[in-house]
Structure 1
Amino acid sequence: MNNTNTDMEFLPGDFELVGSEKISRIDEAYASQSYWHDIIKRFTKNKGAVAGLIGILLIIVMAIVGPSLTGRTYYEQNITHQNLAPRVPGLEKLGIFDGSEKMHTSKGSVEQNKYISSDSSKTTGLEKVYYWFGTDVLGRDIFTRTWVGTRISLYIALVAVIVDMCFGMVYGLISGYFGGKVDMVLQRFSEILNGIPTLVIVTLLILVFRPGLLTITLAIAITGWIGMSKIARAQVLKLKEQEFILASKTLGARDFFIIFKEILPNIFGQLIVMSMFSIPNAIFTEAFLAFIGLGVLPPLASLGTLISDAFKSFTTHPYMIVFPVIVLAIIMLSFNLMADGLRDAFDPKMKEV
């Protein structure tokens, strides 16, 4: 078999550029996104979390401007306006929130409207008066008192976050990082404190202080940080043996530098989520204490106080309890939805578990 060498000649038409328009493809460089940008993007894709955030913002706005919308104060009493059903301008023409209510008596159900007299020759003086959420047994505006009570719930939420982030987080970081005798002493102390019921702590505080907002704040400050400290300690135990911590120690970094500059940034997302979940628990604790009579002193009212007062008239005037309960439910649901969205945003792999 003979091997022959043939000269290959390439013509201009043998090769063509890739692409219908005969344009060469060029690599595109995309700008890198920051860690917080990714978190915000994942958070905004969660419809439940966005709904929770919107609910919280609406509650905050109403807590700020709500008490001043009607021109009435939360302590203003008018016996002639007591037990008035909700009446809203505009909606009364549609037959809803027109001030009428159905009373259940021993003789049966009777529908009445205290704004309008049954006798056409008489006037009640309430024909042009509107109470959007109605009034209580002392003639106080429930709308104004509800949003004043919401301020207290939001204050409790703020206290819970501050206590968690300023004390519980630091407590857990120090306990988990140093370990040994330090960890044993700190954990035994927190377990003893956690074993005392909150109701007992509040009762003991009442012996020293008067029942009120200060007592509830101290009760939350004394025990509300324990859950956060345990989460922070568990996260530190997972990270303190990692290579980057060993490298920092080798380079001569001090303990508190490692705790707050190396470990804390890596677990800060989980701590934020934990603090968000602690807010509904703190709000419920305040509402429960107020419901059993250990809340703020009258005439100031929280949502728990309003629910407690309205519960006594629930069978005759159910509207008194409906609105405070709805606002409290929206607050707790919104914080839970937002906390759940933050958890998925900071750790998207949690959805797969």
Structure 2
Amino acid sequence: MNNEQMEFKPDDFVLVGSLGDAFVDESYKKESYWKDILSRFMKNKGALVGLIFIILVVIMALVGPGLNEHTYYSQIIAHQNLAPRIPGLEDLGIFNGSETMNTSTGTVVVNKYVVPGKVTGLEKTYYWFGTDVLGRDIFTRTWQGTRISLYIALVAVIVDMLFGMSYGLISGYFGGKVDMAMQRFSEVLNGIPTLVLVTLLIIVMKPGLGTITLALALTGWIGMSRIARAQVLKLKEQEFILASKTLGAKDFFIIFKEILPNIFGQLIIMSMFSVPNAIFTEAFLAFVGLGVPQPQASLGSLISDAFKSFTTHPYMIIFPVIVLAVIMLSFNLLADGLRDAFDPKMKER
């Protein structure tokens, strides 16, 4: 054994930190539940596109009817059946007020704004979406109708989140005879077709937005109540609920303070998916003549009116259909994004 004294030099030992952080555990900043959801939502391009289009539609519904001098009920018979004409774009040969008409002798291009050799009085007139058979501005009426569709969407969310959610939570939590009575009532109510219900309401009440709102409020919450009830049945036997009961928590405290926060994400998703269905229901009722009365306009009534002139003036139906399709598609994209954000495992199934 060598008894020589060992000598250490300054460079024999090097601090780990000076070699780099390869062997050092990284600490990550803890994110809240809602920040985590927002982060996943922002990574979903489809959901962001849907949200952007919803915001644009809402803005246009608010300011669109006031962008020109026309109102949704004003009509000028001399301006009937005018094709779309947009300043700036008319110089490019599109939306210049001309339309192709099918006649017995063939097709002919007609422009009622400008007629060679004749003063029409419409040379400086612009209708961005054209006019209908009564000379009403389709642009103003389209965005006025969008207001009604967005109002129906708001009603659907409020009814779902207030009544449908509470009904399902109470039914699922108490169970037994309470659950049986509440579920049989909802099944009987759900067995009545919406069209029949609206027709009966119109007989009793006058046709209008209030009647449609009441019809949607009577049956639109049933789907949400079933989702809420199913979620409660999964959670109410778990340990944290038993612990709350042991500590003396009241039933409604457990329902709205313990169970609801754990299923709130699923309920938001369900309410978003119910919005397109409610909008389509209103549009369908308006299309068959059970919507808002004239001169009020909804997207469904605009499509219904324009359908009669589809073969001669197809532009009348194009813009309301596009707006309605954008609204429904955007809400579906938003709902898909919310579902993936609240439950990332859903995307893997």
Query: TM-score band (shorter)?
Result: over 0.9
1:331 corresponds to: 327
Deviations, residues 92-149 of structure 1 (Å, cap 9, x unaligned): 000000000000122211110000113x2x2000000000000000000000000000
Q: Describe how 1:113-262 pairs up with structure 2 within 5 A.
A: 113-118=111-116, 120=117, 122-262=118-258
Deviations, residues 231-285 of structure 1 (Å, cap 9, x unaligned): 0000000000000000000000010000000000000000000000000000000
Q: If the length of structure 2 is used for normalisation, what is the TM-score?
A: 0.97
The one-letter code sitting in structure 2 at the alignment partner of 1:241 is E
2:56 is equivalent to residue 55 of structure 1: no
1:276 corresponds to: 272
Deviations, residues 53-101 of structure 1 (Å, cap 9, x unaligned): 0000000000000000012100111010000000000000000000000
Alignment partners' CA distance in 1, 2:43 and 2:96: 40
Deviations, residues 194-221 of structure 1 (Å, cap 9, x unaligned): 1110001001101111111011001100
Q: Which sections of structure 2, spanning at least 5 residues, go unmatched? A: none
Inter-CA distance 23–89: structure 2 relative to 1 (3 Å threshold)? closer
CA shift for structure 1 position 21:
5.9
Alignment partners' CA distance in 1, 2:45 and 2:22: 42
**Which residue, 86, 89, 92 being the options, matches 1:88?**
86
Aligned sequence identity (%): 77
Alignment partners' CA distance in 2, 1:59 and 1:117: 36
CA shift for structure 1 position 27:
5.5
Q: Any conservation in 2 of the 1:176–1:237 contact (CA below 8 Å)?
A: yes
Inter-CA distance 93–237: structure 2 relative to 1 (3 Å threshold)? same
Residues 107-116 or 152-161, more deviating: 107-116
Q: If the length of structure 1 is used for normalisation, what is the TM-score?
A: 0.95
**Which residue, 59, 72, 75 being the options, matches 2:73?**
75
The one-letter code sitting in structure 1 at the alignment partner of 2:136 is R
Q: Which sections of structure 1, spanning at least 5 residues, go unmatched? A: none
Inter-CA distance 11–226: structure 2 relative to 1 (3 Å threshold)? same
Matched residue of 2:120: which SS?
A: coil
Residues 25-34 or 49-58, more deviating: 25-34
CA shift for structure 1 position 14:
2.8
Alignment partners' CA distance in 1, 2:211 and 2:248: 45
**Which residue, 305, 311, 317 being the options, matches 1:321?**
317
1:39 corresponds to: 37
Q: Any conservation in 2 of the 1:17–1:24 contact (CA below 8 Å)?
A: no
Alignment partners' CA distance in 2, 1:31 and 1:283: 42
Alignment partners' CA distance in 2, 1:5 and 1:185: 93
**What is the aligned residue count?**
348
Matched residue of 1:112: which SS?
A: strand
Alignment partners' CA distance in 2, 1:216 and 1:231: 24
Matched residue of 1:14: which SS?
A: coil
CA shift for structure 1 position 30:
3.2
Alignment partners' CA distance in 2, 1:57 and 1:272: 18
Inter-CA distance 25–102: structure 2 relative to 1 (3 Å threshold)? same
Residues 225-234 or 209-218, more deviating: 209-218
Matched residue of 1:109: which SS?
A: strand
Q: Any conservation in 2 of the 1:16–1:22 contact (CA below 8 Å)?
A: no
The one-letter code sitting in structure 1 at the alignment partner of 2:293 is L
Alignment partners' CA distance in 1, 2:22 and 2:130: 73
Alignment partners' CA distance in 2, 1:153 and 1:22: 60
Name the Cα RMSD after superposition.
1.6
